[in-house]
Amino acid sequence: REGREGGMEAAVEALSGYIVAGRAGQEHGTLEDVEKCCRLMGIDLLRLPTVHIAGTKGKGSTSAFVERLLRTTGLKTGLFTSPHLIDVRERIRINGAVLSKEKFSDYFWDVHEALSGSYGSSLHYFHFLTVLGFYVFQKEQVDVAVVEVGLGGLKDSTNVLPHPVVCGVTLLDYDHVAILGDTLDKIARQKAGIFKRGVPAITVYDQNSEAQDALEDTAAAVGCPLYVASRIEDYDVGKYENICLGLHGSFQRQNASLAIALVRMFAIRMQEDWTQDASVAKWKFACSKLWQDPRIQPWGQSPTISGNGWNTEEGEPKKSTPSSHLVPVKMPLHDIELTSLANTKWPGRAQVLDSLPGLPGARVFLDGAHTQESLKCCSLWFEEALTRAYGHSRPQGCAPFKTILLFNTTGGRIAQNLLSPLAKLVRPYRQCSCSAPCPCRDRKRNLFDLVLFLPNDSSLSSVAKSAEAVDYSWQEKLVLEWRKCFAEDAESELGQDAYLVHSKEAIKQKILDESDSDMPNVAIAQSISEALEGIRSACSFLEDKGEKYPFEVLCTGSLYLIGDILAHLADESILSL
């Protein structure tokens, strides 16, 4: 069946056509075209309260925290994020849930059919999804939309939002340098492109100084009051002993603190009471007393304040001395905030899966880190988890465990920069049968027993599957760069035959190999499914021998890789927030 009658399957196929248009470099797909498409669809963006979030690291996690916080206060939320991991429906959520296939399909065909023959026929993929997301939010009558920038900010299709309630910028790092620029100053100015006159913006503490200067400079020029989120440790937690986050990793504390500040600012600017819940009303009232800054105006009003960041005497903001202010922390964290932070979920980011069918005793750590700084955070998170499990004194000696790294990243990145944090990890205890105290604990040995470089065996960036032959040349380069982390004189020319494994049995044997080399086994798997089957086979083999012990599997380097792995290991229920 074709068209609307074909349902979700036909919708996915038609959606792939927008990717083809983008790759063909067609003329449409500018911000102006996205605005025109929104008008054609009757989307009134001025009436959509939004929290707009840009950044390099943690913008998805921050968006998830913000959405959960707002939903807990009783608001009906829309959440627009990218990329998706398993299903394109993940990009547009209502109250944390993906749309049913039937509802997504209906909304898709509404937009696709309305725009066919106009600007929509040549819109790029992400631009079309942006229009679709805003259309869904309007039709579903959400109270607030949390919108994550796709790439950059200034030219991103989400930047058609004319007047968000508040903007956020997460930690900035080098990424997409060919598009955004090769310095943090240039990257920060692209991210700050979402700043709007009179709309408060908040960024994280410990922002890189070069990036922070660029954010402040842009905010001052635009007429945007800029704040810096306080450390989450600076908040009073009242009766609670500590702050528990639903997202793992110490780096998430920075994202959580930004989310708290963004939601409190949202409550200040939205003057209407949206709930009869006395606890929420008390929280909202307390938020309103936090900031004594005349630049913060109720949402929907034009900025009229002059001074301290902009001057409106001649109708346009003028650059003044840039300054950012620390978000006040005098209001203790409310039960609503603490509960929301603890209950936040965000698949594929610092996520741990265990008790998986076919993987007895295995824990799978999933993180879509794909920049040098985010991989440092990912490495620290994994190291902390294993140190808690194996890094303390054991009277029986070193507890045996197997560690496996499944890695891929998109081409065009500096591979060694990404791999270096992982190569520096060492085992909290070297695997052995020594009696305690272990005499081998001081020997530096890489944490991983086996490193498998993988291709993406779906084209999630292309929505549909691809039947093209797999090219392993990038994986061969990753092998070489990994080896260089241990030996600078690693061979410069490698053939894929030297490292490509052709069966799950071969992968099993590499996992079980007890070689004493300081450099871990390294190989290229033909597919993700074969790599997982090899791990399953090794788990079953040890279990049958009565030697069952933990497998710790870290999957990282690319959100597309994480999506492929989740598609093999989990069902659709994992998508709900």
Amino acid letter for position 342: A
Distance between CA atoms of residues 177 and 492, nearest Å: 26
User: Quick one: how far is CA 443 from the chain centroid?
Assistant: 35
What mean pLDDT do residues 103-119 have? 89
Q: Which range among 144-148, 150-154, 261-265, 281-285 shows the weakest confidence by mean pLDDT?
A: 281-285
Q: What is the pLDDT of residue 498?
A: 74
**pLDDT category of residue 145 using cuts at 50, 70 and 90:** very high
Distance between CA atoms of residues 534 and 513, nearest Å: 13
Q: What is the pLDDT of residue 395?
A: 40
pLDDT at 188 over 80: yes
Q: What is the pLDDT of residue 315?
A: 45
Distance between CA atoms of residues 564 and 560, nearest Å: 6
Q: What is the pLDDT of residue 21?
A: 53
How far apart, in Å, are the Cα atoms of 410 and each of 77, 219, 420, 456, 551? 32, 33, 16, 9, 26
Token pair 């291709």 is found at 455
pLDDT at 374 over 70: yes
DSSP string, 51-81: EEEE-SBSHHHHHHHHHHHHHHTT--EEEE-
Convert the pLDDT of each residue in 46-64 to its tens digit.
999 999 999 999 999 999 9
pLDDT at 308 over 50: no
Convert the pLDDT of each residue in 511-536 to its tens digit.
888 766 666 789 999 999 999 999 99
* % of the chain at pLDDT higher than 90: 47
**pLDDT category of residue 309 using cuts at 50, 70 and 90:** very low
Token pair 């933990």 is found at 550
What mean pLDDT do residues 17-25 have? 59
What mean pLDDT do residues 194-205 have? 95
DSSP string, 71-121: HHTT--EEEE-S--SS-GGGGEEETTEEPPHHHHHHHHHHHHHHHTTTGGG
Distance between CA atoms of residues 554 and 422, nearest Å: 10
pLDDT at 19 over 80: no
Q: Using only C-alpha atoms, what is the Rg of the chain?
A: 25
pLDDT at 24 over 90: no
**Helix, strand, or coil (residue 21):** helix
Q: What does the DSSP 8-state code read for residue 171?
A: B
**Helix, strand, or coil (residue 463):** coil
Q: What is this structure's pTM?
A: 0.84
Q: What is the pLDDT of residue 360?
A: 72
Q: For residues 498 and 438, which has the higher predicted lDDT (pLDDT)?
A: 498
What mean pLDDT do residues 123-142 have? 95
Convert the pLDDT of each residue in 443-461 to its tens digit.
556 789 899 999 876 544 4
How far apart, in Å, are the Cα atoms of 35 and each of 30, 121, 323, 439? 9, 15, 32, 67
Distance between CA atoms of residues 287 and 271, nearest Å: 11
Within 8 A by CB and 6+ apart from 244, the residues are 338, 341, 342
Q: What is the pLDDT of residue 439?
A: 46
Contact 325, 212 (CB under 8 A): no
Q: What is the pLDDT of residue 494?
A: 54
What mean pLDDT do residues 481-504 have? 74
* % of the chain at pLDDT higher than 70: 82
pLDDT at 341 over 90: yes
Q: For residues 306 and 456, which has the higher predicted lDDT (pLDDT)?
A: 456
What mean pLDDT do residues 263-276 have? 87
How far apart, in Å, are the Cα atoms of 7 and each of 103, 310, 377? 9, 51, 41
pLDDT at 310 over 70: no
pLDDT at 442 over 70: no
**pLDDT category of residue 121 using cuts at 50, 70 and 90:** low
164: preceding bond cis by omega (within 30 degrees):
no
Distance between CA atoms of residues 138 and 170, nearest Å: 27
DSSP string, 409-456: --TTS-HHHHHHHHHT-B-SS-S--PPSSPTTTTS--BS-SEEEE---
pLDDT at 302 over 80: no
72-81, 437-446, 508-517 — most confident range:
72-81
**pLDDT category of residue 323 using cuts at 50, 70 and 90:** low
pLDDT at 312 over 50: no
Q: What is the average pLDDT score of the chain?
A: 83
Tokens matching residue 439: 């005499």
What mean pLDDT do residues 148-177 have? 94
First to last CA, the chain: 33
555, 424, 401: which is closest to 482 by C-alpha? 424
137, 142, 194, 197: which is closest to 168 by C-alpha? 194
Q: What is the pLDDT of residue 519?
A: 67
pLDDT at 368 over 80: yes
Taken in order of first residue, the domains within the chain and their CATH numbers are: 47-100+143-343 (3.40.1190.10), 351-575 (3.90.190.20)
